[in-house]
Amino acid sequence: MIPAAFDYVAPTSLDEALQALGSGDDVKVIAGGQSLLPILRMRLNAPERLVDLGRIEELRGVSEEGDSLVIGAMTTYSDVLDSDLVRQHAALLHKAIREVADPQIRHRGTVGGALVHADPAGDVGAPALALDAELVVAGPGGERTVAAGDFFRDLFETAVGEGELLTRIRIPKHTGWGAHYEKFVRVAHQWSIVAVGATVRVDGRTIAEARVGLTNMGSTPLRATAVEQALVGKPATEEAVREACAAAAEGTNPPSDLNGDADYRRHLATVLTRRAVLTAAGA
Amino acid sequence: MTRISVRVDGVDYTDEVEPRTLLVHYLREQLGKTGTVVGCDTSNCGACTVHLDGRSVKSCNVLAVQADGHEVTTIEGLATGGELHPVPQAFHECHALQCGYCTPGMIMQAVDVLRENPDPSEEEIRLGLEGNLCRCTGYHNIVRAVRQAAGAREGAQA
């Protein structure tokens, strides 16, 4: 399978990239290309022009900015996995990215590409949401910051508009928080049927704070706020966590497909949330 | 057409390619490097795995233009001085292939697994090869071969 013909530009700076984006109607951005290239090969999309961000060094890398971590949108999954800063301050993101696809895909695929592609079964959205990430979006008029809670609009749709680019992800440091990403699949390197990311701050044996993100439980990543609230002040025990996690599917609208119907996914969400929270709490 | 310069298996090439050309097609059809095969054509099976700047990628899921200015190693570039690389040698000794179609990609990914972790456990090998499908062997001898290659490398270093 070969994509339909397109023009190709590979800018080396953000300004050049924004100019290239503004140059026509039918333009697609390629980051790592691990989702886009299959789409182009199957001709589900056939843009006139591809703008490749792969040569823009300023969009890569992980750094610290006060109480936040900053991850360039073009940072690959494997570079995130190699980052001690991410492991230390955003353990949930680290755990989730370990579960993305397979090593070859993780060498090419990027965090920013995954967020803007916004596949509800992708593994980056739920951690970004749970960690209260801020997404920095650049456009012809300058930069704006979008909270993760406002970023995901619908299936494959985000707050990034035409002519705009996601440049970096800012994540408040969750230093010392336990984390776990529980992904349910039937075969290797499958998309999540359902996955749950949990990160908790345990004080003594009590859960002081909890954040829970759900993957593939609706058209966007979702936050299980009812569970988060129910967990606060609870002991990190199987019984207490089980009770709090019973509400995991509240407010969700999961799909039904060959892998399972919506009711099955709702049930999975409660089970996986319990496992994720217990592991994150070290219980 | 776009002009690209790529170093493949230690040799520099400069070619004109259509931007939509996949790296695997460039390797096979323009450079004649047919050791790298197209398996599923959907980025699932890993048969087309090569190294791009020393890291494994699925060459059906990379555009040739994205490799411009970079270095590619294929299965054909592993041998040195007429000697088999330890990983293909171990595949040969452990009977880690039957039809052989997945083998080029499997070997390239196994080399990548050992680059990241010179002494992987069986589980680490299986996880490292999760992007490579084999429909004949049941994987058992492939995992054995990678373990043996890890041992051979240790032996060589000692």
ipTM, two decimals, is 0.95
Same domain, yes or no: A168 and A190: no
Of the three residues B52, B77, B102, the one that is the final residue of a domain is B77
Answer whether residue A218 is part of any domain: yes
- Residues of chain A in contact with residue B25, where contact means CB-CB under 8 angstroms, are 2
Decide if B68 touches A, using CB distance below 8 A: yes
Q: Kindly state whether residues A28 and A101 are assigned to the same domain.
A: no
Give the end of a domain, one of B77, B94, B125: B77
Structure tokens at B156: 């060589």
Q: State which of A172, A201, A223 marks the end of a domain.
A: A172
- The predicted model scores a pTM of 0.96
Q: Taking residues B11-32, what's their average pLDDT?
A: 98
Does residue A116 share a domain with residue A69?
yes
Find the distance separating the first CA and the last CA of chain B, reported in whole Å: 50
**Chain A touched by B49 (CB under 8 Å):** yes
- The answer on pLDDT for A25 being more than 50 is yes
How many whole angstroms separate alpha carbon A66 and alpha carbon A251?
35
**Beta strands per DSSP E along chain A:** 7-9, 27-30, 49-52, 62-65, 68-72, 134-139, 142-147, 152-154, 157-158, 165-172, 178-184, 194-203, 206-215, 222-223
A33 within 8 A of B62, measured Cβ to Cβ: yes
Indicate if the pLDDT at residue B154 is higher than 80.
Answer: no
Neighbour tally for B69: CB within 10 Å:
12
Whether residue A163 is found in the same domain as residue A267: no
A38 and B43 in contact by Cβ < 8 A? yes
Q: Would you tell me which residues 68-97 of chain A have a C-beta closer than 8 angstroms to some C-beta of chain B?
A: 78
Mean pLDDT, range A173-188, rounded to an integer:
95
Give the residue among B38, B94, B87 at the shortest CA–CA distance from B61.
B38
> What is the tally of structural domains in chain A?
3
Dist. CA A175–CA A152, nearest whole Å: 25
Same domain, A124 and A200: no
Token readout for A67 is 């109480």
Binned at pLDDT 50, 70 and 90, residue A189 comes out as confident
Same-domain status, A166 and A186: no
Q: Is A6 on the interface with B (CB under 8 A)?
A: yes
- Domain boundary, last residue among A137, A172, A207: A172
pLDDT score at B155: 57
- Please report, for the domain that includes residue A26, its CATH number: 3.30.43.10
Are A162 and A267 in the same domain? no
Find the range with the poorest average confidence among A63-72, A165-174, B35-44, B97-106. Answer: B35-44
Q: What number is the average pLDDT over the span A11-30?
A: 93
Residue B141: exposure state from Cβ atoms within 10 A (0-12, 13-18, ≥19): buried
**Same-domain pairing of B115 and B141:** yes
Same domain, A153 and A187: no
Position A60 pLDDT exceeds 60: yes
Domain CATH code at residue B41:
3.10.20.30
Residue B126 confidence (pLDDT) above 60: yes
Give the gap in angstroms from C-alpha A7 to the nearest C-alpha of chain B: 7
| Closest Cβ–Cβ partner in B20, B25, B49 for A104 | B49
Q: Could you say which of B18, B58, B112 has the minimum Cβ distance to residue A5?
A: B18
Domain extent for B20: 2-77
- Across the range B85-106, mean pLDDT stands at 97
Does A43 lie at the interface with B, CB-CB under 8 angstroms?
Answer: no
Q: Where are the beta strands (DSSP E) in A25-115?
A: 27-30, 49-52, 62-65, 68-72
A209 interfaces chain B, CB cutoff of 8 Å:
no
B6 closest CA partner among B37, B31, B38: B31
Binning pLDDT at 50, 70 and 90, where does residue A17 land? very high
The strands making up B55-58's β-sheet, listed across from edge to edge, are: B11-17, B2-8, B71-73, B49-52, B55-58
In 3D, which of B66, B69, B63, B74 has the Cα closest to residue B103?
B74
Shared-domain flag, residues B6 and B73 = yes
Q: Taking residues B34-60, what's their average pLDDT?
A: 96
In a domain, A118, yes or no: yes
Whether A226 has a pLDDT exceeding 70, the answer reads: yes
Average pLDDT over residues B116-120: 96
The mean per-residue pLDDT over the stretch B12-29 comes to 98
Residue A153's pLDDT is 98
Q: Which residue of chain B is at minimal alpha-carbon distance from A76?
A: B55
Q: How confident is the model at residue A64 (pLDDT cuts 50, 70, 90)?
A: very high
Domain that holds residue A70: 57-172
pLDDT on residue B80: 87
Mean pLDDT along residues B90-118? 97
Residues A67, A44, single domain; the answer is: no
CB B143 within 8 A of CB B126: yes
Look at B19 and A4 and tell me if their CB atoms are within 8 Å.
no
Please return the burial class of A185, using the count of CB atoms within 10 Å of its CB with bins 0-12, 13-18 and 19+.
Answer: middle
Using 50, 70 and 90 to split pLDDT, how confident is the model at A283?
A: confident
Give the model's pLDDT for residue B158: 44
- Mean residue pLDDT across chain A: 97
CATH number at residue B119: 1.10.150.120
Can you give the pLDDT at residue B32?
98
- Look at residue B157 and tell me whether its pLDDT is greater than 60: no
B59 touches chain A (CB under 8 A): no
User: Which of A117, A146, A172 is the C-terminal boundary of a domain?
Assistant: A172
Contacting B residues, span 19-38, partner chain A, CB-CB under 8 Å: 19-22, 25
A127, A181 contact by CB (below 8 A): yes
Q: Give the pLDDT mean for A113-136.
A: 98
- Fill in the DSSP letter of residue A131: T
Which residues have C-beta within 8 Å of that of residue A234, sequence separation ≥ 6?
Answer: A206, A207, A240, A241, A244
Q: Among residues of chain B, what percentage have pLDDT more than 70?
A: 96
Mean of the pLDDT values across residues B144-153? 91
Specify the number of domains making up chain B: 2
Q: Are residues B107 and B53 in the same domain?
A: no
Q: How confident is the model at residue A239 (pLDDT cuts 50, 70, 90)?
A: very high
Q: What is the pLDDT of residue B153?
A: 63
Q: Specify the 3-state DSSP secondary structure of B114.
A: helix
CA-atom Rg of chain B in angstroms: 16
- Domain stops at, among B77, B103, B125: B77
Task: For B41, name the nearest residue in chain A, comparing CA atoms only.
Answer: A1
Say whether pLDDT at A192 is over 80: yes
Q: Is the CB of residue B2 less than 8 Å away from at least one CB of chain A?
A: yes
Give per-residue pLDDT as tens, A198-219.
999 999 999 999 999 999 999 9
Q: Is the pLDDT of residue A102 over 80?
A: yes
- Which residues in chain B are contacts of A10 at CB distance < 8 A? 65, 68
Q: Residue A2 falls within a domain, yes or no?
A: no
